[in-house]
Amino acid sequence: MAKDFLKGVADEYDVVVIGSGLAGMTSANILGRAGHRVLLLEQHYKLGGLATWFLRPGGHTFDISLHGFPHGMIKSCRRYWSRDIADRIVQLKNIRFDNPQFSLTTTFNREDFTRLLTTQFGIEAATVSEFFDTARGMNFYDDQSTTTRQLFDRFFPGRDDVVRLLMEPITYANGSTLEDPAITYGIVFSNFMSKGVFIYEGGTDDLVARMKKELVSNGVDIRINCPVEQIEVSDSPVQGTRVAGVRVHGRSIRCRAVVSNANLRTTVLKMIGPEKLDRDFVEQTEAVRLNNSSTQVYMALKPGEEIDESSGDLFFTSTAEEFRTDLLLSRDITSRTFSFYYPRTRPTKKERYAIVSSTNANWSDWADLNPADYEASKQDLIETTIEALEKYIPGVRDKIDRAEAATPRTFQHYTMHESGASFGTKFEGLAVSRALGDQISGMYHAGSVGIIMSGWLGAINYGVIVSNEVDQLLVRESSAV
Ligand SMILES: Cc1cc2nc3c(=O)[nH]c(=O)nc-3n(C[C@H](O)[C@H](O)[C@H](O)COP(=O)(O)OP(=O)(O)OC[C@H]3O[C@@H](n4cnc5c(N)ncnc54)[C@H](O)[C@@H]3O)c2cc1C
């Protein structure tokens, strides 16, 4: 008989959280800690969403999205998770770039970027300082019509090399392009520049295990292998349109609020359904563009083989003569970002070295390949990536124990994100996500949207914002009774 993943589940909760990405788990944790009855439903057999990992024989563990996040993660994890988690966040000090326009190594913070821009790129110190201040002064309520390209044109006209240095890592970090609103660049760039790039020591598996422990200790009922089919909505003259529950494995579970961490478009257009929403809102949602997807190649070294730490922690490489968004996404790959994982990534585990190569990618380049072509394309991706890596680490091919590839189809398969979107939606998604509660009382969305609210830090912080709103609603309604 098939396992009942809902065995023992209650008929009613205060809140149901759909999806255990970082935003979903953070919301669930805060609401559980506040004393609400919380059910967390995850369709996959693992928690974490895109913050995930996989194991392979030989003692190898591969991280999917543990490449770097801003210093702000320490504060967010300390406040909303635990000191235990926050204390494991460490800086990556060796960030490298190599492309036809420049090669350099940096600690990736304002001080070091100022040094590079003034000495290596010959920009006036006053211009650099003004640029940093402008980026740091940006906030969500700023002018949204200026694009990132216009911002760069204002400070560094005709300096494609400078734009590349400033933009390439952010495109990698959140999929934003020169055509997106400048605030999506300024906010994320300044977050990184404040203190540099950080990762979680112990690996994603350790982080998610600690998060799960916290969730359990805060009373959250966690269910994996539970894909929510529908968000149920009731309509009454007294209460208006409001959330009534969710449907999962053919069973209805009642609740007073729902936080969906699933893809925004899927949440609105499929799980709720257009018929329950204002026409304008549906049109606005339909117009939301998804962010791009990614490909990755995971390479593990044979036990006993090593890579020198001078290889760097994060290495932005490109063979393209100039910086162009379409080249970054092209199936004909020119840009690869290598993450090097030394044994210090998992200090308590077996001594292993791994390298993950990531490239932004278009869903359309992979979506319709037949099985044979798909396999061949993956193999080609692996081969060309190892070739590219050989340039920097001669002989690495012989040291590799395993190499595998993930494509936009892989990301869609595991997270149910439409088109395998790696960073949620473009900027306009944020307004739709925020307005969902005005359409249906008790309905919220927390997950990567609008570029700003994506990545590990953005997702966690969005989970915090939304859980506070849910808490207020639940407390308000309880005290009104
Ligand atoms: C290749 C790659 C590299 C990245 N690198 C970095 C990095 O270095 N630094 C960084 O900060 N960010 C990185 N990111 C982005 C970052 O991982 C994500 O922005 C963040 O983890 C997303 O969190 P989220 O809360 O939005 O939810 P997601 O991680 O998208 O999770 C959503 C969850 O909802 C579940 N779900 C969906 N539908 C349903 C349903 N119907 N019922 C139940 N559950 C459902 C999914 O299974 C999933 O668990 C990377 C992303 C990718 C793809």
Q: Which amino acid is at 127?
A: T
Asked, colleague to colleague, whether 12-45+224-289+423-480 and 53-91+198-202+292-415 share their fold, the answer is no
The reported pLDDT for the residue numbered 437 is 95
Going from the Cα of 71 to the center of ligand 1, the distance in angstroms, rounded, reads 19
The pLDDT of residue 321 is: 92
pLDDT at 175: 87
Question: Quick count: other Cβ atoms within 10 Å of Cβ 157?
Answer: 8
Q: Measured from the CA of 463, which atom of ligand 1 is nearest? A: 25
For the chain, the structural domain boundaries read 12-45+224-289+423-480, 53-91+198-202+292-415, 109-195
Residues 6+ apart with CB under 8 A from 282: 268, 269, 274
Q: Would you identify the CATH topology of the domain 53-91+198-202+292-415?
A: Polyamine Oxidase; Chain A, domain 2 (3.90.660)
**pLDDT one-digit tens code per residue, 245-267:** 999 999 999 999 999 999 999 99
Ligand 1 center to 407 CA (angstroms): 15
Ligand 1 pocket: which of 6, 17, 46, 50 to mutate (most atoms within 8 A of CB): 50
Residue of minimum CA distance from atom 48 in ligand 1: 49
Over residues 364-411, the pLDDT tens digits come to 999 999 999 999 999 999 999 999 999 999 999 999 999 999 999 999
Please list, residue by residue across 397-424, b when 16 or more beta carbons sit within 10 angstroms of its beta carbon and e when fewer do: eebbbebbbbbbbbbbebbbbbbbbbbb
Measured by CA distance, the residue closest to atom 19 of ligand 1 is 455
Which ligand 1 atom is at minimum distance from the Cα of 19?
34
Q: What's the gap in Å between 185 CA and the centre of ligand 1?
A: 20
Q: Which residue's CA lies nearest to atom 47 of ligand 1?
A: 415
Model pLDDT, residue 139: 81
Average pLDDT of the residues in 236-249: 91
CATH class, domain 12-45+224-289+423-480, is alpha beta
Q: Which residues line ligand 1 (CB under 6 A)?
A: 18-24, 41-44, 49-51, 64-65, 67-69, 227-228, 261-262, 294, 296, 358, 411, 415-417, 422-424, 447-448, 454-457, 459
Work out which ligand 1 atom sits closest to the CA atom of 24. 25
pLDDT of amino acid 66 = 98
pLDDT for the residue numbered 323: 87
pLDDT tens-digit profile of 434-446? 999 999 999 999 9
Cα(415) to centroid of ligand 1, in Å?
A: 7
Q: In terms of C-beta density within 10 A (0-12 exposed, 13-18 middle, 19 or more buried), how is residue 17 classed?
A: buried
Residue ranges in 276-394 assigned as alpha helix (H): 279-286, 325-329, 364-367, 371-390
Tell how far the Cα of 51 is from the centroid of ligand 1, in angstroms: 6
The Å distance, Cα 179 to ligand 1 centre, comes to 24
Contacts for 365-374: CB closer than 8 Å, 24+ residues apart: 365/331, 365/408, 366/293, 366/295, 366/407, 366/408, 366/409, 366/420, 367/408, 367/409, 367/419, 374/407, 374/409
